[in-house]
Amino acid sequence: MDEQLPQSQELQQYQTPTPILQGHFLNKKFVITVLVLIILGGIAYGTIWYWQKQQLASEVVPTFTPRPTDDIANWKTYSNTQYGFEVKYPLTKIIVGDFNKNHSINITKPQGTDLLQIEFLNKNVDQIKNEIVSQRYLRITDESTTFNGSQARKLTYYPEIGNDPYTTILVSYNDGTFKFTHGSSPEYIKILSTFKFTK
């Protein structure tokens, strides 16, 4: 038969254990630990953000720096005492024309592509400007400028659709006008910067 347990043992056997309470999970120690971790995380985030900002600020930004003028010192010099001017040009370029006979020279590439044409004309600036305008280019801009310390006119004109513009600078000099004509090559600026009157 069945063995009967004493009643006190039976109660112990079927009694649910009472949990041991160790305190609420949001006790003081836990809250302080979480706050310290949040503060340390914020400091770490702020430090990384500041460091990255400093790195971006200290990066070298590439900028256009013109070549030093030392290479110009090695260029050839064309001088004309009759008209009183000189101009330097690169060793890789040539002078075509005789200024004393034709009142004109071209500074060109050896293949024959003109970079810069320098002319002296026995006309005033307005006469030459009107001749250029009368050729009915697609578009012409006309502006006042200075060239080598003198007042000048700068005309930029487009001969045909799709072609690069030509620029002519007109400078009154003595009883005539110097006319500088060039295409869109940036090399002309460097060459023109070396032009000077010697009289």
Neighbour count for residue 157 (Cβ, 10 Å): 18
pLDDT at 4 over 70: no
Q: Which are the contacts of 179, defined by CB distance < 8 A and separation ≥ 6?
A: 117, 118, 119, 120, 121, 128, 168, 169, 170
Residues 92 and 167 both lie in one domain: yes
pLDDT of residue 179: 92
pLDDT of residue 24: 57
* Range of the structural domain that residue 49 is part of: 23-63
pLDDT: is 158 or 41 the higher one?
Answer: 41
pLDDT at 117 over 70: yes
Number of domains present in the structure of the chain: 2
pLDDT: is 35 or 112 the higher one?
Answer: 35
The Cα–Cα gap between 38 and 42 comes to 6
Residues 119 and 173 both lie in one domain: yes
The answer to whether position 9 is within a domain reads no
The Cα–Cα gap between 56 and 185 comes to 36
